[in-house]
Amino acid sequence: ESDDTGSILATLPTGSLWPDSIPNSPASMSMWYVLFSDTEDEKAYKIWKKSIMLVWRTAANHKYANVFTHPVTNEIAPGYLNVVHRPMNLTQIKRNIESGVIRTTTEFQRDMMLMFTNAIMYNSSDHNVYKMAVEMYDDVMESIEQFVSTQLMVSSADN
């Protein structure tokens, strides 16, 4: 077995990438930055992530959010996992944003809608959870629409 790092390092032209200077000098630091800084896409994603977390927080602070914070178990709702094939909750959505599984507003909206439609599908229309899901769905979709229109205003102002 060969050590690939040695061969990769051997192919780097000496002196051209890493100036013969003290580590952390301006010359070596600027090269480090060029090699390891975020791309424009990553910067845009990080800005989006911070913004969408504000929308998530609005949902998580809703008066009915406690119903949607954690996974629904069969103990809480008998037969739930037989009816709902793709469970979703606020904690999972937050995890998916943080880990990069959710990377767009459309994906965020899709999972929020899934969470509410699961509750609407499982519960009868006279059940409290059904009514809470409908009301919170309306409020959260309004927040997402406001977020999208703000993003559009910002992007058109940039052009």
Distances (CA, A) of 96 to 48, 50, 100: 14, 13, 6
7 falls within a domain: no
Higher pLDDT, 105 or 8: 105
Burial readout 29-61 (b: 16 or more C-beta within 10 A, e: otherwise): eeeeeeeeeeeeeeeeeeebeeebeebbebbbe
The three-point CA angle 6-8-10 to 5° equals 65
142 falls within a domain: yes
Q: Give the residue numbers spanning the domain of 139.
A: 39-151
Taking only the tens place, the pLDDT of each residue in 51-65 is 999 999 999 999 999
The total domain count for the chain is: 1
pTM of the model: 0.74
Handedness of CA 129, 135, 138, 143 (dihedral sign): negative
Q: CA-based Rg of the chain, rounded to a whole angstrom?
A: 24
What is the share, in percent, of the chain residues with pLDDT greater than 70?
75
43 falls within a domain: yes
Residue 36's pLDDT band (boundaries 50, 70, 90)?
A: low
Higher pLDDT, 68 or 5: 68
Q: What is the pLDDT at residue 26?
A: 52
Residue partners of 91: CB distance under 8 A and separation at least 6: 69, 70, 71
24 falls within a domain: no
23 falls within a domain: no
29 falls within a domain: no
Q: Residue 112 is part of a domain; what is its CATH number?
A: 1.20.920.10
